[in-house]
Amino acid sequence: MNNSEDTTGQEHWKIPGDFQGHALPGSFLIFLSLWWNSVNILKYICKKQKQVYLYSKVWIHRAELLDGVILTGMVLFGAISLQIYAISGSQLMWVLRLHHTIIYTFYGILGVTKILSATINSFPASLTKLALSNAFLVQTFIMYNHTHGRFTMDVFLHKILALATFSAGLVSFMEILIKNNITLELMRASLIILQGTWLWQIGFVLYNPTGGFEWDLTDHRNNMFITIYFCWHYAFAYIIIGVNYAVITWLVKWRLRKLGFSQVPLLKTIVQEEESEEM
Amino acid sequence: MNNSEDTTGQEHWKIPGDFQGHALPGSFLIFLSLWWNSVNILKYICKKQKQVYLYSKVWIHRAELLDGVILTGMVLFGAISLQIYAISGSQLMWVLRLHHTIIYTFYGILGVTKILSATINSFPASLTKLALSNAFLVQTFIMYNHTHGRFTMDVFLHKILALATFSAGLVSFMEILIKNNITLELMRASLIILQGTWLWQIGFVLYNPTGGFEWDLTDHRNNMFITIYFCWHYAFAYIIIGVNYAVITWLVKWRLRKLGFSQVPLLKTIVQEEESEEM
Amino acid sequence: MNNSEDTTGQEHWKIPGDFQGHALPGSFLIFLSLWWNSVNILKYICKKQKQVYLYSKVWIHRAELLDGVILTGMVLFGAISLQIYAISGSQLMWVLRLHHTIIYTFYGILGVTKILSATINSFPASLTKLALSNAFLVQTFIMYNHTHGRFTMDVFLHKILALATFSAGLVSFMEILIKNNITLELMRASLIILQGTWLWQIGFVLYNPTGGFEWDLTDHRNNMFITIYFCWHYAFAYIIIGVNYAVITWLVKWRLRKLGFSQVPLLKTIVQEEESEEM
Amino acid sequence: MNNSEDTTGQEHWKIPGDFQGHALPGSFLIFLSLWWNSVNILKYICKKQKQVYLYSKVWIHRAELLDGVILTGMVLFGAISLQIYAISGSQLMWVLRLHHTIIYTFYGILGVTKILSATINSFPASLTKLALSNAFLVQTFIMYNHTHGRFTMDVFLHKILALATFSAGLVSFMEILIKNNITLELMRASLIILQGTWLWQIGFVLYNPTGGFEWDLTDHRNNMFITIYFCWHYAFAYIIIGVNYAVITWLVKWRLRKLGFSQVPLLKTIVQEEESEEM
């Protein structure tokens, strides 16, 4: 299932594409990841304080419904603008557009599943996780079979995007089995941000909108630079999630202090350490 | 373990085969998947209502026994018709027929295990899951070593069938460790339907019975179309399972209402949300 | 990490070897697998009958100690006879002998761990599972890097042996995390028997002691036959384990009946079904 | 994502490098592994004796804080000396230095996470495991894309280092989900020691400081020797961990006897066996 026939002297071509087609889904993913991450952190902190949790349940439920609606809206917007603006003409471009349409379709299924899960009773809650995992794994499958006949660097850029989507799919799948684990949720969030920023990176490398530096897409050595960029993106995503966690924790504590709830000390003492570990 | 030597200029040949040989096991798999899926959903819904469960246990037990008998019958029918109708002559065709016979053998072992599990006491219940997982993984192994010397597209069609069987095998294996998880059961069902419809697809692509469109099996670019078809099949399987779930839920509720059992409201309220999540 | 350079026109050679060097460890593995399997089944059945378990504990403990001693003895015998009888001369043969010596070393570590685990208190019980998993995974690593410059079929024979050892290593690793799961134990037993019989098969294909049929080791198509043989071996291993399970269950029941213990009915009734499933 | 184009007749070059650049991080890893391993074993033994655990908690907490500080210090020292002493000049050397800098960065993130986890309250404890897993997996990713255009043996040496880091990353990831499992902790420790000693081995093979034996880096057959060395390293790491476990257990028992705590017998009796197994 390897489409990059470098060794057989086949012809390669530069795929006509556009920067916006990568930046738009990239922005969607970054937005969604921060949204989901914030809700997850809020839930985690509130659950630690039982009385607050009962109070915040209504808001979390509404957030989940809104989440599904926004996601479906995004997918519709992305899929329709893809049909209108995507460069067409050759049969190859038509196939590539279909590839993207399928990815949007599976995110659409995720959106519908989220809405159903938030409204219908007796709906197994982990089905949204299954739909999420499916969306990522189908995207990986598409990415892996998407780059037939392209230049070395183009193939490599999409292969490591597939690495990110595969990891996100795997973590989502684990969340079907292990529920409400904050570490898995944080990891998933960082992997989705990584996908989003990496889509921006692909847009900049292949179709630089500023018309600046032009990469030599046939040079194998450039892959070693791309490796570095990918790790920087991941470190960046990791730090964003960390800052988000810190800000939300601080906001909740500040709000609780104003409302007069019993306060948890910030610095760890030895007795509490054990509890948090057992959780 | 890669048998498709595209790069070494080896000879390729078109395997003589027939449409029926793919359509028959495909239909078997679709039928079995819907059957298992329906029983699983019924069990899941009934377990939520304790009193109904005790009442329906006898039926579920009988369904499991019947399941094993039907499966064994199917396997015998498939294996025997393979021996009678399969095109023979060359040594290669003989090897390929043996490959299919082995796959039928492992499904046969599954059938026997199911019958034993339903009749004999002190039989570990998860052995049927092990036999199921084995059947899928052995099929993957065969598929992967099945396409020596064939055309690019023929290889690709069988490789992504192997992807579906491997995923189904993996999910079945997980079910040995994590029992009665409805999400895993739904996922397995959708992967088995995917296998079934994909077998039909392979039949149509390689041995079109209507004599219509003829694919160029040597063109690498066709693999990108096949990728799209595979995802459509999966989306289709996913929706079939969803509709099946909805229909069965509605039927059970309708029947319970008639029998006067205490009724569960359809739309989710916030208090119930938490419970279903913890389950 | 692929050592079979078929495409680059490198030279290949037939490795001088002997039938005994494959048959001996094969027999050891088959013996050990049946031994471990029988102990596991005995433990499983006895645990279901609490009073019998307390009675049989002493015997199971002694079996574990004996197990370690026998395993260490086997390893010493195998390793020493390897040093004495292995064909030497070239540097390559020396390297290949070292490869086998390492495999014996890791099985030796397993034997020592078993003895320590059975004698020393406060020894984590799952360390024997770790040593077992290590032995299989190191063997996989060796097998994978063992066949440089050999003929196609020779490479394939060792690669699918590596598949069996890898699967056995994976299942053993899972047993570190999920303890006393009879299905995993049965699966591991069948995979070890598969290894043992496959070693016999390798011996027969490469160094046929009867001087009979000679395989053409350079023909890719033979790999499709070998695939069939491998599946037959697995089906055979599966059935052996099944028969072993049936015989031991019957023996225990017969012994208990004679000793006058309360008897469990053989055929399943609907009330009991649920319990065994929850276990 | 395979950078070793042996088949396409591309040019290869010997990378200028130094022995110290491999020995320094190797020593760091060996030190850290032994440190973490000793703390883990201490925790495991103390937990078995409840009264001792409460007494030792303060010390374990301090060890964790110190751990983070030392790790961060090591990373800073390594990264700075890399910037100063690394051979530069060509663009390739600059890329390779960046690769190493990224690895240090992720270990630095681990250090900071450890300090935060030991000081700040309401910090999810398993985040340090996530950072550890990330550090290893990012290192694997870098290693895998690090050896473009190098000699066969150089590539192989780094690929099996990547195997060790990947395994360590996987085990660390499992520790997010399964907490306080001594077997996983011992396994992780042995894999980190393996990495450390293997870095020394790479240094000796590629840039022998004693100016002794010079390896022919282009000979495929040398990979079979390297395979043997790698297994010896692993067996060595395994034994080191075993000796460490024995020494610490003996020291704790000796100390407890002097302090007059209730003593656990060394040799296993049959009644105790069952308990340790269930744990």
Q: Which residues of D fall within a CB distance of 8 Å from A234?
A: 134, 138
Cα separation, B182 vs B37, whole angstroms: 10
Residue A154 has pLDDT above 50, yes or no: yes
Cα separation, C39 vs C70, whole angstroms: 15
The band of C54, judged by pLDDT with boundaries at 50, 70 and 90, is low
Cα separation, C3 vs C26, whole angstroms: 25
Q: Which among B58, B122, B125 is the nearest to C270, CB-wise?
A: B58
Query: Which residues neighbour C141 within 8 Å (Cβ) at sequence distance 6 or greater?
Result: D163, D227, D230, D231
What is the per-residue burial (b if ≥16 Cβ within 10 Å, else e) of C12-48? Answer: beebebebebbbbbbebbbebbbbbbbbbbbbbbbee
From the list D254, D248, D219, the residue with the least C-alpha distance to D44 is: D248
pTM of the model as a whole = 0.86
Whether residue B5 lies within 8 A of chain A, CB to CB, comes out as no
Whether residue C262 lies within 8 A of chain B, CB to CB, comes out as no
The band of C78, judged by pLDDT with boundaries at 50, 70 and 90, is confident
Residues A190, A237: contact at Cβ < 8 Å? yes
Least confident stretch, B99-113, B170-184, B254-268, D210-224: B254-268
Least confident stretch, A59-63, C26-30, C192-196, D208-212: D208-212
Are B181 and A177 inside 8 Å of each other by CB? yes
Record the tokens describing residue C212, joined without a space: 């009979």
pLDDT at A67: 87
- Within a 10 A sphere around the Cβ of D93, how many other Cβ atoms? 15
Task: Report phi then psi at C267, rounded to 5.
Answer: -85, 140
Least confident stretch, B10-19, C84-93, D89-98, D193-202: B10-19
Task: Report phi then psi at D233, rounded to 5.
Answer: -55, -45
Each residue's pLDDT tens digit, B207-251: 877 776 777 777 777 888 889 999 999 999 988 998 898 898 888
Task: Report phi then psi at C120, rounded to 5.
Answer: -90, 135
Q: What is the mean pLDDT of residues B52-68?
A: 75
Residues D152, D216: contact at Cβ < 8 Å? no
Q: Which residues of C fall within a CB distance of 8 Å from B155?
A: none
pLDDT at D33: 93
Select the more confidently predicted residue: C85 or C109.
C109
Helices in C121-269 by DSSP H: which ranges?
A: 127-144, 152-177, 182-206, 222-259
pLDDT at B24: 87
What is the per-residue burial (b if ≥16 Cβ within 10 Å, else e) of D5-29? Answer: ebeeeeebeebebebebbbbbbebb
Using DSSP, state whether D279 is helix, strand or coil: coil
Whether residue D124 lies within 8 A of chain A, CB to CB, comes out as yes
Q: Which residues of D fall within a CB distance of 8 Å from C7?
A: 7
Residues B194, B164: contact at Cβ < 8 Å? yes
Q: At what angle do helices B20-48 and B222-259 cross, to 10 degrees?
A: 40
Q: What is the mean pLDDT of residues A172-191?
A: 90
Are D183 and C130 inside 8 Å of each other by CB? yes
Select the more confidently predicted residue: A12 or A244.
A244
Are B276 and A92 inside 8 Å of each other by CB? no
Residues D110, D139: contact at Cβ < 8 Å? no
- Where are the strands (E) in chain B, listed by range? none
Select the more confidently predicted residue: D20 or C9.
D20
Ramachandran sector of residue A9 (left: φ over 0; alpha: ψ -120 to 50; beta: rest): left
Query: Which residues neighbour A139 within 8 Å (Cβ) at sequence distance 6 or greater?
Result: A103, A106, A162, A165, A169
Select the more confidently predicted residue: D104 or A255.
D104
**H or E element at residue D30:** helix D20-48
Residue D3 has pLDDT above 70, yes or no: no
Select the more confidently predicted residue: A15 or B148.
B148
From the list D252, D274, D195, D211, the residue with the least C-alpha distance to D25 is: D195
Q: Which among D159, D183, D225 is the nearest to C124, CB-wise?
A: D183
pLDDT at B172: 93
Whether residue C176 lies within 8 A of chain D, CB to CB, comes out as yes
pLDDT at D13: 53
Q: Which residues of A fall within a CB distance of 8 Å from D104?
A: none
pLDDT at C134: 92
Residue B79 has pLDDT above 60, yes or no: yes
Q: Which residues of D fall within a CB distance of 8 Å from A44?
A: 124
Query: Which residues neighbour A269 within 8 Å (Cβ) at sequence distance 6 or greater?
Result: D121
- Give the torsion sign (CA, C250, C256, C260, C263): negative
The band of D7, judged by pLDDT with boundaries at 50, 70 and 90, is very low
For residue B117, the distance in angstroms to the closest alpha carbon of chain C comes to: 9
Residues 28-87 of C with CB under 8 A from D: 57-58, 61
Q: Which among A7, A48, A225 is the nearest to D7, CB-wise?
A: A7
Residue A35 has pLDDT above 80, yes or no: yes
- The tokens 């004796």 sit on which residue? D49
Q: Which residues of C fall within a CB distance of 8 Å from D235?
A: 102, 105-106, 109
Each residue's pLDDT tens digit, B86-140: 666 677 778 888 888 899 999 999 999 889 888 877 777 788 889 999 999 999 9
Residue A212 has pLDDT above 80, yes or no: no
Cα separation, C262 vs C186, whole angstroms: 27
Distances in Å between the Cα of C83 and the Cα atoms of C21, C78, C94, C97 are: 11, 9, 10, 8
Average pLDDT of every residue of chain A: 80
pLDDT at C205: 87
Distances in Å between the Cα of A167 and the Cα atoms of A133, A195, B184 are: 10, 10, 19
Q: What is the mean pLDDT of residues D125-135?
A: 88
Are A187 and D130 inside 8 Å of each other by CB? yes
Residue A147 has pLDDT above 80, yes or no: no
The band of C215, judged by pLDDT with boundaries at 50, 70 and 90, is confident
* Interface with C, mutate which of B55, B109, B133, B145 (most C CBs under 10 A): B145
- Within a 10 A sphere around the Cβ of D177, how many other Cβ atoms? 16
Closest residue in B to C266 (Cα) is B121
Percentage of the residues of chain B whose pLDDT score is greater than 70: 81
**Is the complex ipTM higher than 0.85?**
no
Whether residue D121 lies within 8 A of chain A, CB to CB, comes out as yes
Average pLDDT of every residue of chain C: 80
Are D187 and C58 inside 8 Å of each other by CB? no
